[in-house]
Structures are given as C-alpha cells and as structure tokens.
C-alpha cells in the first residue's frame, strides 16, 4: 500500500482540524466516573447502545463507592444488552473498588494511574484523558485504525503501533484529530459502503474500495 507523503500528511491534518474542530465524544456523561464507565462499556459496543444503558446504571450507582458495593448480578442485569456484559460488569465493580481504596473515590486523571484500573487499557485511558482533560494524545479504535490505513498514514498491524505512528506523524492537535477521525470513520469512511461522495479526503485515499477492516 502506498504511504502518504509529508505534504499529504500536512493536508490531511489541516482538513481534519477544519472539519472537526468542535468534535467531542458521543458518549453521554456528567463526570469523570461516568465517562470511565461509558468508555469501558463502549469497547466493541456502539456509543448509542451505551447511552441507552448508562442512565439506569448511573442512577442506581451514582459514584464509585456505591458501585464498589454493588451486587454483580444486578450490574449484569443493567448492562446485559451490551457486548461482553459479564466481563464488563466484573471490571467496572473492580474499577470502582480500586478508585475508592486507592484514590479516595476520585478517578485519577493520569494515563499511568488509569491503566491500573480494571477494564482500562491504554486506549481507554487515552480516550478518557482526551475527552476529559483535552490531552494531546491519540487513541486508536476500529474507526481510527481503518481510516489511518485507508489514507496511507499507517500500515501497522496493531492499534498500539498505529497510535505511535499517528502521534509521530501528526504531533499536535491530537485531541481534535482523534475525535474527528472517529466520527469520520463512523459516518463517512465506513467499513462497508463508505460514503466516498461525501468525503473531503478522496484525493488522499490510497485504497479506495480495497481496504476492508471492521
């Protein structure tokens, strides 16, 4: 696959900034506790689905203390329309316990601390920091992975390697770029039937229809 050159990377960067300068997550949350849970639940699940699940969950368990004492079967029943709900129920309860026991009930706003919480990997930690703190970080989900490959920005095999490549190539405005690429991949550069007629990056696309990834 042909790689984007330096000038193309610069143009792609500028076009994402122009088109998505106000982009934010589509997950609904009121505080850092709710955001962490929403991001954990969103793994391999749509934001729309998560937003349907979380109101009842947050009403019953409004803070880490309440969730740390929750019955796992009750939590499962509240999130059972979400993918991998058994594992996610266990993780969010364990996450809440650690937040209470180690961080005094406050979500730690530091990537290294966040990844010590159950259910929080590097991608989840970065998404939380990007959204809540406006951090200059990149997080790679399926949309970012797909778009970065289609545009010749990366040919890496993993999300973590793709993240490192995008950080190196873009350097700044990573928060806007992450949010923008997610929305672009979700609504325009879709895995199946991408809306090429609505795309503002067609001249930079290296793969057109040939690159299919979820």
Task: Map out the domains of the chain as residue ranges.
Answer: 6-23+137-204, 32-133
Q: Pick the catalytic residue: 2, 141, 169, 197?
A: 141
Are the CB atoms for 123 and 104 separated by under 8 Å?
Answer: no
Q: Has 123 been annotated as catalytic?
A: yes
180: nearest Cα among 152, 157, 148, 132: 148
pLDDT digits (tens, 9 = 90+) for 176-209: 999 999 999 999 999 999 999 999 999 999 876 5
Q: What angle do CA 23, 29, 31 make, to 5 degrees?
A: 110
Kindly indicate the confidence band of residue 78, based on its pLDDT and cuts at 50, 70 and 90.
Answer: very high
pLDDT computed for residue 208 by the predictor = 65
Provide the pLDDT for residue 149.
95
List, for residues 157-182, the tens digit of each pLDDT value: 999 999 999 999 999 999 999 999 99
Tokens 């399926």 belong to 142
Task: Tokens for 164, please give them.
Answer: 């490192």
Are 100 and 68 in contact, with CB atoms under 8 Å apart? yes
For the chain, strand residue ranges (E) read none
Instruction: Give catalytic status of residue 90 as yes or no.
Output: no
For the chain, what percent of residues have pLDDT higher than 70?
Answer: 96
| Pairwise pLDDT comparison (44 vs 56), residue with the higher score | 56
How wide is the angle at C-alpha 97 spanned by C-alphas 38 and 37, nearest 5°?
0
Q: Which of 71, 97, 123, 156 is catalytic?
A: 123
Instruction: For domain 32-133, give the fold.
Output: Endonuclease III; domain 1 (1.10.340)
pLDDT band at 2 (very low <50, low <70, confident <90, very high): confident
Mean pLDDT of 62-85: 97
Select 6-23+137-204's CATH number: 3.30.750.200, 1.10.1670.10, 3.40.50.261, 1.20.1250.20: 1.10.1670.10
Are 31 and 70 in contact by the 8 Å Cβ rule? The answer is no
32-133 matches 6-23+137-204 in CATH topology: no
- Which residue is it, tokens 């550069």? 189
Q: Output the pTM of the full model.
A: 0.89
- Please check the confidence at residue 210 and state whether its pLDDT lies above 70: no
């Amino acid at each position: 696959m042909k790689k984007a050159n330096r000038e193309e990377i610069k143009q792609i960067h500028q076009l994402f900034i122009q088109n998505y300068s106000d982009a934010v997550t589509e997950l609904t949350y009121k505080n850092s506790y709710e955001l962490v849970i929403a991001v954990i639940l969103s793994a391999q699940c749509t934001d729309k689905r998560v937003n349907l699940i979380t109101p009842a969950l947050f009403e019953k368990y409004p803070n880490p203390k309440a969730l740390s004492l929750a019955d796992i079967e009750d939590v499962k029943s509240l999130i059972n329309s979400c993918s991998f709900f058994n594992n996610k129920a266990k993780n969010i309860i364990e996450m809440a316990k650690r937040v209470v026991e180690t961080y005094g009930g406050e979500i730690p706003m530091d990537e290294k601390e966040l990844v010590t919480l159950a259910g929080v990997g590097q991608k989840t930690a970065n998404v939380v920091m990007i959204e809540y703190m406006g951090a200059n970080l990149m997080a790679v989900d399926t949309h970012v992975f797909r778009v970065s490959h289609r545009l010749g920005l990366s040919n890496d095999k993993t999300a973590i390697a793709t993240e490192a490549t995008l950080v190196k190539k873009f350097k700044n405005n990573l928060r806007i770029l992450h949010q923008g690429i997610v929305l672009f991949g979700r609504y325009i550069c879709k895995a199946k039937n991408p809306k090429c007629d609505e795309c503002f990056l067609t001249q930079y696309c290296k793969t057109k229809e040939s690159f299919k990834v979820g």
